[in-house]
Amino acid sequence: MSYRFIGKHIPKMNKIICVYSSSSCTIDKVYFDTARELGRQIAIQGDTMLYGGGLLGLMGASAKAVHECGGKVIGVIPKALNIQGVVYESCDELIVTEGMRERKAAMDTRSHAFIALPGGYGTLEEIMEIITLKQLGYHNKAVVLINSNGFYKNLLAMFDQIIDEKFAKPECRRLYQVVDTAGEALAYIDQYQPFTIRQKWLDDVENTRK
């Protein structure tokens, strides 16, 4: 897997925080307020924001807010989307990947923690994959959903159904944290302690041997 790096070197910072979010410009103002607040707070506490490299929607709003407060931004974008008007050209470092799968791999590898703002299909796909990778033991990093305006309430209800019907174990709720504000998300990440969840299939294998 190869990447093309554009821009200046990012100095070592406290944390690199991956932010997943929407590229839509037509959504309610309340979501933009949350995105900007997250960007501001990431910068204020000396962290670096890593995200999908977009100029539009919540993606661009959070990245611009980081820069307005003197912070650093790493963008990761597939070459098909690396076009003027779509890409945030002011990223301190821009990683251009061959495609979407390479993009996600680069974001996963570089980040110390993950935050999902409200978003569409792409945001849901990204945060579900990172939760699943944590469940399978591929990483042990903090994962946070910012439930701004109750956006994730139906998804969380689906998670409850998954657990209630035994498609996942109750301790899987520990794989992610749900908060209402940017400040709560960053506080959780600062206090996060890695932990291990026993893989479901190990219990299933043991049960078949009895």
Domains, the chain, ordered by start = 4-209 (3.40.50.450)
pLDDT classification of 200: cutoffs 50, 70, 90: low
193: left (phi over 0), alpha (psi -120 to 50) or beta: beta
- Give yes or no for residue 12 having a pLDDT over 70: no
Number of helices (H) and strands (E) in the chain: give both, helices first.
Answer: 7, 8
- Judge whether residue 2 has pLDDT over 70: no
pLDDT tens profile 112-129: 999 999 999 999 999 999
Average pLDDT score over residue span 49-62: 98
| For residue 88, pLDDT beyond 70 | yes
Query: Residue 87 pLDDT more than 50?
Result: yes
The dihedrals phi and psi of 119, each to the nearest 5 degrees, come to -170, 180
Read off the pLDDT of residues 125-155 as tens digits, 9 standing for 90 and up: 999 999 999 999 999 999 999 999 999 999 9
Q: Is the pLDDT of residue 69 over 60?
A: yes
The reported pLDDT for the residue numbered 13 is 47
Q: Tell me, what's the pLDDT at 47?
A: 97
pTM of the predicted structure, to 2 decimals = 0.88
197 band by pLDDT with thresholds 50, 70 and 90? confident
Question: What's residue 195's pLDDT?
Answer: 86
- Look at residue 207 in the predicted model and tell me its pLDDT: 53
Q: Are strands 16-20 and 113-116 parallel, antiparallel or unpaired?
A: parallel
How many other CB atoms are found less than 10 A from the CB of residue 82?
Answer: 17
21, pLDDT greater than 50: yes
* Cβ neighbours of residue 8 closer than 8 Å, sequence gap 6 or more: 92, 93
Query: 91 near 63, Cβ under 8 Å?
Result: yes
- pLDDT for res 5: 46
Q: How confident is the model at residue 199 (pLDDT cuts 50, 70, 90)?
A: low
Mean pLDDT of the chain: 91
**Predicted local distance difference test score (pLDDT) of residue 3:** 47
